[in-house]
Structure 1
Amino acid sequence: MAVILARLVFTAILLAATLLRLRQAMKDSSDRPFGPTGMYATHSYEAQFDNFTRDVRIALGPINASSRMWPIVRGFPLVPIILRDGEVLVTNHIRDKVAVKAADHARVRDVVETIRTGLDLVQSEHLPLKLESDLPVLLMSGDSSGCMIKNKFDTFDYPRIGWSLPSPAKYGQHWCKTIPIPSYEIWHSFRKKSESRDMQFQKQSKMYPWSRKINKAVWRGGTTCNPIYKESSSFLNDISNIPRGKLVQLSMLHPTLIDAAFTKFNQEYEGREEELRNTTILKKRMPFDDQMKFKAIIDIDGNDWSSRFPMLLCTNSVIIKIEPDFIEYFYDELTPMKHYVPASLDNLTDVVMHVMDKDNEVEMKRIVLAANSWCRRKMNAKQIALDMIQQLRKYDTALDEYFDRHMLSRSTVIAEVINGTDSLEQL
Structure 2
Amino acid sequence: MARRQTWMVAAGGLVALLGALWLALVWFIPADEDLAAHAAGELQGRLGVPVRLGALHWRLLPVPAIVLEDVATDQPQAITVKKLTAYPDLLALLQRRVILDRVELDGAVVPQLSLRALDATSRGAPAEAGATPLARFVFRDLTWLSRHGVPVVYDGEIDFDPGWRPRQAVLRRPGFTPATDLTLTRQGQDDRWAIRSQVGGGTADGEVQFQTRADGRLALDGQLRPSGVEVASAVAAFNRKPVIAGKASGHTVLSAQADTLVGLAQSLHTKTVFTMGASTLLRFDLDKAIRSLGREHAGQTALDAVSGQMDTQNTPRGMVTQFTGIKASSGALSASGKARLANRQIEAEFAVDLVDGIVGVPLVLSGPVDKVAVSVPRGAVAGALLGTAVLPGIGTAIGARVGATLGRLFDSGPDRQPARRAGNGPLSGTGRPCPSLR
TM bin, normalised by shorter chain, reads under 0.3
Instruction: Flag the structure with more relative contact order, 1 or 2, with Cα contacts below 8 A and sequence separation at least 6.
Output: 1
**Structure with more of its chain in strand, by fraction:** 2
Normalised by the length of structure 1, the TM-score is 0.27
Higher Rg = 2
Normalised by the length of structure 2, the TM-score is 0.26
